[in-house]
Structure 1
Amino acid sequence: MEKRVFSKDTEKNTRLIGFLKTLMICTGTWSYHWTDNFMLEKIYKYFSFFPLAVFAAFYFLLMMELLRVLIEQDKLDSFLLNLGVFLDASKITIRFVFYFKNNVLRKFKDIMMDEQDIFESQEPEVIQYYLKRAKSWRSTLIFLYINTCLCSYGYMLVEISDNILVNKKHKINNESVEPPFLYQIYFPNPDQNIIYIYWVNCFMVTFIILAVNVSFAISTTCMVYGATQLEIFQFRLKHIHEVANKSYDGNIALTLKIYIQKHQKLISFITDLNDCIRSVTLGEFLISSINCASVVADITKVNDIGLSATYAGAYVLLLVAQIFTYASVASEIKIQSAAIADAIYECEWYNFDKSSQKMINILQARAQKPLEMTIGPFGAMTNETAVMMMKACYSYVAFMKDSGVANTSTE
Structure 2
Amino acid sequence: MTIFPRNKHLKVCMYSSSLLGIWPFIFEENPTLRQLYQLYSNFMLVYYTFFIGTAYMKLAELLRADEIRMDDISANLCITLIYTITIIRQIMLRGKGVLKMIRYIIDTENKIYAAKDEKVIEAYDRCADLTIKLSKIYLAILFVITMSYFIHPLLEGGYFLQKGNETMLIRALPLSSWFPFDEQKYYWWAYAWHVVDACIGASFVTYTDILMFSMIVYPTGQLKILDYILRNFQFYEANVADGRGDDRASYLAFRECISKHRDIIAYVDDFNGSMQNLMIFDFLQSSLQIASILTQVFGNEITLVLLSFVGTFFVGMILRLILYYYFANEVLILSVGLAGAIWDSGWCVQTPRVKYMMVVFMQRAQKSLKLFIGPFGVMSLQAFLSVSFAEPSIRVIRFNFRLRS
Give the TM-score normalised by structure 2. 0.88
Spell out the pairing of 1:3-402 with structure 2 (5 A cutoff). Answer: 12-34=5-27, 41=34, 43-73=36-66, 76-78=69-71, 79-101=73-95, 103-160=97-154, 178-187=170-179, 188-247=181-240, 249=242, 251-305=249-303, 307-388=305-386, 391-392=387-388, 394-402=390-398
Task: For 1:280 and 1:195, locate their aligned partners in 2 and report how far apart those are by CA, in whole Å.
Answer: 37
Give unpaired runs (5+ residues) of structure 2: 160-166, 244-248
What is the letter of the counterpart of residue 139 of structure 2? Y
Instruction: Please state how far the C-alpha of 1:220 moved relative to its aligned partner.
Output: 2.2
Instruction: Please state how far the C-alpha of 1:309 moved relative to its aligned partner.
Output: 4.3
Instruction: Please state how far the C-alpha of 1:223 moved relative to its aligned partner.
Output: 1.8
Task: For 1:107 and 1:33, locate their aligned partners in 2 and report how far apart those are by CA, in whole Å.
Answer: 16
Which deviates the most, 261-270 or 307-316? Answer: 307-316
* Alignment CA distance shift 1:73-1:242 (3 Å): farther
CA contact (8 A) 2:120 2:225 kept: yes
What is the letter of the counterpart of residue 44 of structure 2? P
Describe the SS at the equivalent of 2:99: helix
What is the letter of the counterpart of residue 368 of structure 1? Q
* Alignment CA distance shift 1:281-1:60 (3 Å): same
RMSD over equivalenced CA pairs, Å? 2.8
Task: For 2:43 and 2:262, locate their aligned partners in 1 and report how far apart those are by CA, in whole Å.
Answer: 39
Task: For 1:382 and 1:282, locate their aligned partners in 2 and report how far apart those are by CA, in whole Å.
Answer: 13
CA contact (8 A) 1:292 1:316 kept: yes
Which deviates the most, 243-252 or 192-201? Answer: 243-252
Instruction: Please state how far the C-alpha of 1:379 moved relative to its aligned partner.
Output: 2.2
* Alignment CA distance shift 1:385-1:355 (3 Å): same
Describe the SS at the equivalent of 1:218: helix
Q: Deviations over 1:74-109 (max 9, x none)?
A: 561422222222211222123223323454133111
Task: For 2:34 and 2:94, locate their aligned partners in 1 and report how far apart those are by CA, in whole Å.
Answer: 21
Alignment partner, residue 162 of structure 2: none
What is the letter of the counterpart of residue 243 of structure 1? Y
Task: For 2:130 and 2:70, locate their aligned partners in 1 and report how far apart those are by CA, in whole Å.
Answer: 41
Alignment partner, residue 246 of structure 2: none
Instruction: Please state how far the C-alpha of 1:276 moved relative to its aligned partner.
Output: 1.1
What is the letter of the counterpart of residue 329 of structure 1? F
* Alignment CA distance shift 1:214-1:241 (3 Å): same
CA contact (8 A) 1:293 1:393 kept: no
CA contact (8 A) 1:290 1:393 kept: no
Task: For 1:307 and 1:85, locate their aligned partners in 2 and report how far apart those are by CA, in whole Å.
Answer: 19
* Alignment CA distance shift 1:160-1:405 (3 Å): closer
Task: For 2:195 and 2:30, locate their aligned partners in 1 and report how far apart those are by CA, in whole Å.
Answer: 30
Task: For 1:274 and 1:38, locate their aligned partners in 2 and report how far apart those are by CA, in whole Å.
Answer: 32
What is the letter of the counterpart of residue 53 of structure 1? V
CA contact (8 A) 1:28 1:47 kept: yes
CA contact (8 A) 2:97 2:273 kept: no
* Alignment CA distance shift 1:62-1:308 (3 Å): farther
Describe the SS at the equivalent of 1:12: coil
Task: For 1:102 and 1:292, locate their aligned partners in 2 and report how far apart those are by CA, in whole Å.
Answer: 32
Instruction: Please state how far the C-alpha of 1:302 moved relative to its aligned partner.
Output: 1.5
Aligned residues: 392
* Alignment CA distance shift 1:21-1:73 (3 Å): farther
Task: For 1:62 and 1:371, locate their aligned partners in 2 and report how far apart those are by CA, in whole Å.
Answer: 39
Give the TM-score normalised by structure 1. 0.87
Instruction: Please state how far the C-alpha of 1:407 moved relative to its aligned partner.
Output: 5.6
Which deviates the most, 244-253 or 188-197? Answer: 244-253
Which deviates the most, 317-326 or 176-185? Answer: 176-185
Alignment partner, residue 405 of structure 1: 400
Task: For 1:344 and 1:213, locate their aligned partners in 2 and report how far apart those are by CA, in whole Å.
Answer: 39
**Identical-residue share of aligned pairs (%):** 19
Task: For 2:241 and 2:305, locate their aligned partners in 1 and report how far apart those are by CA, in whole Å.
Answer: 64
